[in-house]
């Protein structure tokens, strides 16, 4: 049975003697920066990157941690993050959840009636689809929420606005035209913390990727490895395998650590039931 994890947790990040260097997605004021600050504290050495792949590369080349979005409660998975987790040698070491409240942001002096175009990350545009369609505003994808606010300021656009956080508006000295414009008030994004080191503690959540065998009932046989070992699955997602049309990799989150006996046994059996298995990491879940 898939259900939400109800275990309460304490602080997610152990104190360190030196400040961690943390890579996040986007510009200052982005939700990814907020996730990094929630997890590591505002004193961490944060650095933003324009592309998700750059975050994985930077952690591979010396930055301590990366913070990447993986799923939104309205728009669903961030598919590139799933692909990068599979391709890289990094391990998931933590999880953070950020409540998303989108604002419509413009240059000072611009009024709501002046706006024809709205820039933001495609996920944010999708989360605010009802608002945009209801006002017949032209949605234009941009690489980052806060980055779209920064671009508006640099280009001094008077017929355009951006969708981002109130933090982003404050960071760039911009005007909030409307707030809470997402389609659902219960709007959350889940972020993963990735690092080079393996996480060997007995945390309460584990992520695994696998490719089923080419046979009837392959997904059933793979998932049955968890069921018969009484491992509770919390989340299942799938991604197409490049170059193999209609073939998929599957990603599961389960309750418990890969050091737990029942999970380690399920993983051993999964190796027999699947063509490919990768442990993405065990970590302490966000609340």
* Residues carrying an active site annotation: 189, 191
Residue 242 has, within 13 A of its CA and on its CB side, a CA count of 7
CA 104 to centroid of chain Cα atoms:
22
Cα distances (Å, whole numbers) of residue 243 to 87, 212, 240: 15, 16, 9
Closest listed residue to residue 35, CA positions, set 196, 204, 190, 253: 190
**163 and 128 in contact (C-beta within 8 Å)?**
yes
Q: Is the dihedral of CA 278, 211, 202, 43 positive or negative?
A: positive
Beta bridge partners of 176: 105
**133 and 184 in contact (C-beta within 8 Å)?**
no
Strands 138-141 and 205-212: unpaired
C-beta atoms surrounding 248 within 10 Å: 14
């Amino acid at each position: 049975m898939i259900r939400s994890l109800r275990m309460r947790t304490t602080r997610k990040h152990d104190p360190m003697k030196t400040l961690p260097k943390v890579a996040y997605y986007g510009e200052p004021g982005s939700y990814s920066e907020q996730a990094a600050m929630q997890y590591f504290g505002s004193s961490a050495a944060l650095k933003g990157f324009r592309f998700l792949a750059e975050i994985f590369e930077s952690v591979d080349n010396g930055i301590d941690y990366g913070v990447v979005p993986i799923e939104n409660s309205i728009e669903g998975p961030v598919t590139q993050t799933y692909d990068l987790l599979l391709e890289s040698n990094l391990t998931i070491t933590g999880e953070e959840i950020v409540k998303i409240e989108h604002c419509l942001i413009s240059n000072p002096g611009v009024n709501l009636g002046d706006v024809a175009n709205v820039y933001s990350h495609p996920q944010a545009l999708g989360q605010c689809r009802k608002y945009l369609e209801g006002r017949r505003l032209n949605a234009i994808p941009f690489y980052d929420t806060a980055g779209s606010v920064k671009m508006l300021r640099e280009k001094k656009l008077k017929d355009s606005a951006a969708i981002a956080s109130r933090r982003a508006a404050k960071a760039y000295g911009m005007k909030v035209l409307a707030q809470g414009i997402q389609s659902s008030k219960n709007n959350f994004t889940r972020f993963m913390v990735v690092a080079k080191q393996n996480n060997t503690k007995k945390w309460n959540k584990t992520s695994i990727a696998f490719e089923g065998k080419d046979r009837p009932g392959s997904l059933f046989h793979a998932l049955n490895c968890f069921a018969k070992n009484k491992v509770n699955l919390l989340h299942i997602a799938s991604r197409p395998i490049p170059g193999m049309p209609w073939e998929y990799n599957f990603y599961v989150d389960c309750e418990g650590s890969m050091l737990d006996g029942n999970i380690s046994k399920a993983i051993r059996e999964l190796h027999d039931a699947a063509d490919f298995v990768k442990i993405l990491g065990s970590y302490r879940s966000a609340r």
